[in-house]
Amino acid sequence: MMSASSVLDMADGDTIYKVVYRSQIVRGLETSFDTDIERILSVSREWNAANDITGALMLTATGYAQVLEGSAHAVKSLFGHIACDKRHQSIELMYSESHEERDFGNWAMTIVRAPSESDIELASTAYQRDIVISNGAEDILMMLRWLLYKKKAH
């Protein structure tokens, strides 16, 4: 299992750097959940656009799963901030590698809601059981692509 800080130690490259992580939502802070999500989207869209980061956030009743894409330096820096954010707990870095292209290049940050709580759990079953880490991350990527396709179709 990769620690949240281990992504910060990886080498920078000229290609697109991609991170997939999941975490549990921390409730009971100063603001409502919907207010937190609106603030997250507003701040992240502005920050991401200024730093050429793209991505997608999947939301369930109890957790987040997110893909971040951009330069290695920008993505690592952003992930470091997320790892310290008190709105997250049990952050699990599922994938971090360089790629030739972006999966979510049209969005500074988009959000989709998972159809049911079991979907995000299903997407990370391989990770939770320590079978093959990349399978859980790929499931999340596939689910985000599918949910965004459905969102665009409506």
Summary mean pLDDT of the chain: 75
Chain position carrying tokens 């665009």: 152
Q: What is the mean pLDDT of residues 97-104?
A: 90
**pLDDT surpassing 80 at residue 153:** no
Hey, where are the domains in the chain? 6-153
Task: Note the pLDDT of residue 50.
Answer: 94
**pLDDT surpassing 90 at residue 130:** no
Question: Percentage helix, strand, coil, to 5, in the chain?
Answer: 45, 25, 30
Task: Note the pLDDT of residue 127.
Answer: 37
Fold assignment, 6-153: Alpha-Beta Plaits (3.30.70)
What is the tens place of the pLDDT at every residue in 35-82? 878 888 888 889 999 999 999 988 877 788 899 999 999 999 999 999
